[in-house]
Amino acid sequence: MPVTDDEARPTVVVIDDDRDIREALEGLLRSVGLRVELFVSVQEFLDGARLDVPGCLVLDVRLPGRSGLDFQDELAKANLHLPVIFISGHADVPMSVRAMKAGAVEFLTKPVRDQDLLDAIHLAVTTDRVRRNNENPVSSTACQLWHIDTA
């Protein structure tokens, strides 16, 4: 099945429990031509994720249920290589070091400067496109993500 122009556009998944943050990020990202999917929690993302297009995750650190940092760990254990950008209003040095050592593209503090976030997303999406061009992760990614959800 051919990929449509809309499906070829990168998708930025935003997982943040603050509705105002989600809506502000949605407006910013759509204004530069990115597709955006918004989720309140990691579980909501797992229930409705679509990973067959290039993109990245923008994760809040503190979320209901599973934290962003814990989810990053689970993605790594499942051998999923989705680029992650963290945003947090409650960041500290150990938290940011943990995220970056685990492979985060960036760790930004709220309020996030628009250009800093857009630069990080550009890097993350480019990285994801290159990775996807070098492998065929669609079916593998779906199986791995299902494993995280049921763990």
Going by pLDDT thresholds of 50, 70 and 90, the confidence category of residue 6 is: low
pLDDT at 135: 77
pLDDT at 150: 53
Check: CB of residue 105 under 8 Å from CB of residue 99.
no
| pLDDT, tens digit, 9 for 90 and up, residues 22-46 | 999 999 999 999 999 999 999 999 8
Residue 2 above 90 pLDDT? no
Please give the C-alpha separations between residue 68 and each of 27, 53, 102, 112, 135, in angstroms, as whole numbers.
22, 21, 12, 17, 26
pTM comes to: 0.84
Please give the C-alpha separations between residue 138 and each of 33, 50, 66, 104, 149, in angstroms, as whole numbers.
23, 10, 24, 21, 17
pLDDT at 70: 94
Pick from 64, 120, 55: which is nearest to 87 by CA? 120
If you search the block for the tokens 């930004």, which residue do you land on?
A: 108
pLDDT above 90 covers a percentage of the chain that reads 63
Q: What is the mean pLDDT of the chain?
A: 86
| pLDDT, tens digit, 9 for 90 and up, residues 61-118 | 999 999 999 999 998 888 888 899 999 998 899 999 999 999 999 999 999 999 999 9
- In the DSSP assignment, the letter for residue 54 is -
| pLDDT, tens digit, 9 for 90 and up, residues 112-139 | 999 999 999 999 999 998 888 887 645 4
Q: What angle do CA 53, 136, 85 make, to 5 degrees?
A: 45
